[in-house]
Amino acid sequence: MSPVPRVAVLLTGSELLDGRVHDCNGATVASSLAARGARVTHVLTVPDDARQIVAALRFSLDQDLSLLVVSGGLGTTHDDLTTAAVAEAVGRDLAEDAQALAWIEERTRAICRSRRLAFAPAFAQMRRQALLPAGSRPLPPAGAAPGFALVVGDTTVVVLPGVPAELEPMWAALVDDLQQQGFFPSLRTRTVRIFGAGEIQVAPVVASSAHGLLDVGVTAAAGEVTVCLRHAGGEEAEAQANRLVAGLAEQLPVFSTDGRTVDELVADRLRALDATVAAAESCTGGLLGARLTALAGSSDYFVGGVVSYANEVKQSLLQVSAATIAAHGAVSEEVALDMARGVVAVTGATFGMATTGIAGPGGGTPDKPVGLVYVAVAGPDMRRAERHLFRGDRETVRVQSVTAALHLLLQAMGT
């Protein structure tokens, strides 16, 4: 196995620090690096301040890194300071790069045509993006701004735009290049997914199985626990991984040992059954439908849904009786089951799914507290419902409700 590369990520942008924008670039870059066996030493976020960007760059370059990925600050506005900061941090002059300039001119002309703008003033403003630190290699843009890469000592510095839609394709191309160059170590990975048990139950199972040759990561999110195993080649390491996976599957409610998510398993099972599904949602407000359609090809099995927040909509569109709501309340097993049955009747889907609950922060009572959610599934000759009491804020309750509904559908379809 090749040596494990040490890598870091530096994010620039005041909007990432004051809550205006939620970072996704750091997670995109760091997770893809870690998944390939690199050791991520740190992810730093700094504001649009030249002094702090330079300081963060110098700190990172002093950490014996193989790769430093910098995101943000490559545009044409006053707070796009990253390129100049990189040049200052590494002691190099800025110079106009011919290839970068050609890309920028091409993109500027396209933008001006689509927006009916005058080219000359726009290009004069965009042109500054072609100024790169001496010795840099320009990277093809996915939007308007090129990225660039340069070598500083033993560290390769890669600088990319901060707009996720631009960073993601540029980063994907870079990762492929690094993979082909043998940058990443040769590792084997296994991913085990668990639903219905928490980290406190997973930890002793991991501890009881010898795993000295494995890198084991345990993560809890969205109501599930994921155990990721990584190891180099070798019979003993492979044996340790097999024993640990077997122990987890024997002692815990494991639903996937091949890395597939519940979303993928649901999709695969629906296709195998030549079945369709529809969603009736109250507390999740469309999140279940969004999750069911997030995978490419979801039109194979998803036919539609109804967001029925008001009781009147539950009654008029999903045929939930007023008497049932009056007797049990909108947040109840009975209403959830009728919603699932109703969406099947409305859409003609094979399976209907339903969610109804109290996501909070208000609306709870002693009998029906915040976090109480019922999920249900109706299908050919079957109806199932589950009661859950989730903890967390409104968004956490809603996300976990969707996850629980997907697992109930998977269980109802069998294997």
The conformation of residue 135, written as its DSSP 8-state character, comes to: T
Res 1: pLDDT: 38
pLDDT in tens, 221-235: 989 999 999 998 889
374 Cα distance to chain centroid? 26
pLDDT in tens, 85-140: 999 999 999 999 999 999 999 999 999 999 999 999 999 999 999 999 999 999 99
pLDDT-derived band at 77, boundaries 50, 70, 90: confident
Res 233: pLDDT: 81
Backbone CA torsion sign across 60, 66, 69, 74 = positive
Overall average pLDDT of the 182-189 stretch? 89
pLDDT in tens, 362-413: 999 999 999 999 999 999 999 999 999 999 999 999 999 999 999 999 999 9
What domains can be seen in the chain, in order of their start residue? 6-180 (3.40.980.10), 188-256 (3.30.70.600), 262-413 (3.90.950.20)
Under a CB-based contact definition with an 8 Å cutoff, are residues 28 and 167 in contact? yes
Q: Note the pTM of the prediction, 2 decimals.
A: 0.83
End-to-end CA distance of the chain: 38
Strands 67-71 and 6-12: parallel
pLDDT in tens, 194-252: 999 999 999 999 999 999 999 999 999 989 999 999 998 889 999 999 999 999 999 99
